[in-house]
Amino acid sequence: MVGDYVVCGGKRLQGTVVIKGAKNAVLPLLAASLLAEDEVVLENCPQLADVENMLSILRQLGCGARRQGDTLLIDTRSANSYEMPEQLSGEIRSSIFLLGPILGRFGQAVCAYPGGCEIGLRPIDLHLSGLRALHADIEESYGKIRCHPAILQGASIHLDYPSVGATENIMMAAVKAIGETTLHNAAKEPEIEDLQNFLNAMGADVHGAGTDTIVIRGVTRMHGVHYRPIADRIVAGTFLVAAAMTGGDVTVKDICPRHIAAVTAKLLETGCTLKTDADSVRILADGRLRALQRLETLPYPGFPTDMQAQMFALSCITRGTTVISENVFESRYRHAAELVRMGANVTIRDRLAIITGVEYLTGSEVQAADLRGGAALVMAGLAARGTTAVHGARYIDRGYEHLERSLQELGANIIKR
């Protein structure tokens, strides 16, 4: 069989995985670096395509941006452009995060609409209305977003939905605005708190991240910083699910267990044993697990949409029926049809998935269509009887650094080709 990841299922995963910095923390921090007219050093950053693309965008804005192993060094003293390169920013969705910091730095900005996405409509209306509330003068035309020169001013902003990206973008613009901004119904994800800590370490004045009200008092200057982003809670959760699916015994290390509490609570419900330490979680699974009955994705601290696909794969082999409700994104069940090819029993009705566990999945040739859905197919392959080829490794590699190496170290029979 030809595939990008080829997995021979049936091996019990065992051992320890050290988790690196979170992609979803590193990307906004890289964008926020632009606010410091100085050098920023970020430690423990994964080598992923989106991170490298963000570095390229920063370079095209005139910054020095390089990697030394897992450390990123950003020198923004030489930044001289407020225009985002069209092709790169069209490619990665997180380029939209740069709008706030570019505005904060230059008072004006030009960017293309951010890259398309595989998991449904991903509008940016909340980003733009928040920035407009800060007095940004935004014109949308011919696929471009132009922010004409303006002096940003603090405001009281109420988000219709606690969007992670919009919360981050507004925070990054407001730190340099004149006066105070209060952001109501803000997202509460750990990555928001990390961004607050990073901004404050650079001299900003931000409070309340982690709650639904964030208060930002504008400052005139921000300085460089040496910072270590939070660990990737989704990568950690993915390894825990992989261990659960293979009857394994795996410890995820260097993480904050509180950040994955929604995931560990669900894994406990399936009958796994979990042992939590200050900076690690160990999971032990034995035999066939119980179905979850109900799983709803929600903004943090609810169950993360970025773990839905992996839990979906697990539900395909648990005893009983699980009903999943995907409330955050539309079109986030593209892994379902592929899991059915492997023998899963699944019915999809709009945002609901009804999964009745089967005794085992069978190795097949399947296609990854997005990052987390692709990871879920690899997990299914680890647990399946026979060989699974997962095409489209490029999707998976957007969020997992050398996934095959980490899984091999845990005893999996997996190669990438």
**Which residues here bind ligand UD1, judged by CB under 6 A?**
24, 27, 94, 121-127, 161, 163-166, 187, 191, 304-306, 328-329
Q: Which two tokens stand for residue 278?
A: 């200050």
Query: Rounded to the nearest whole angstrom, what is the least distance from the CB of residue 411 to ligand UD1 in the complex?
Result: 29
Q: Which two tokens stand for residue 1?
A: 């069989």
How far apart are alpha carbons 221 and 206 in whole angstroms? Answer: 14
| Residues known to be catalytic | 117
Q: What contacts 246, CB < 8 A, 6 or more positions away?
A: 10, 11, 12, 13, 285, 382, 383, 412
Cβ(55)–Cβ(32) below 8 Å: no
Q: Which CB atom, from 29 or from 328, has the smaller least distance to ligand UD1?
A: 328
Query: Rounded to the nearest whole angstrom, what is the least distance from the CB of residue 260 to ligand UD1 in the complex?
Result: 14
Q: Which two tokens stand for residue 304?
A: 């993360």
- Per DSSP, the residues of 182-238 read EEES----HHHHHHHHHHHHTT-EEE-BTBSEEEEE--S----EEE-PPB-HHHHHH
Query: Rounded to the nearest whole angstrom, what is the least distance from the CB of residue 130 to ligand UD1 in the complex?
Result: 8
CA dihedral 355, 233, 65, 30 (to 10 degrees): 90
What is the side-by-side order of every strand in the sheet holding 365-367? Answer: 365-367, 387-391, 5-8, 413-416
| Omega before residue 301 within 30° of 0, cis | yes
Query: Rounded to the nearest whole angstrom, what is the least distance from the CB of residue 202 to ligand UD1 in the complex?
Result: 20
Residue number with the shortest CB distance to ligand UD1? Answer: 165
Q: Which CB atom, from 191 or from 338, has the smaller least distance to ligand UD1?
A: 191
Query: Rounded to the nearest whole angstrom, what is the least distance from the CB of residue 355 to ligand UD1 in the complex?
Result: 21
Helix axes 99-106, 164-174, angle to 10 degrees: 10
Q: Which CB atom, from 76 or from 305, has the smaller least distance to ligand UD1?
A: 305
Indicate left, alpha or beta for 59 from its phi (over 0: left) and psi (-120 to 50: alpha). alpha
Q: Which CB atom, from 308 or from 367, has the smaller least distance to ligand UD1?
A: 308
Q: Which CB atom, from 165 or from 392, has the smaller least distance to ligand UD1?
A: 165
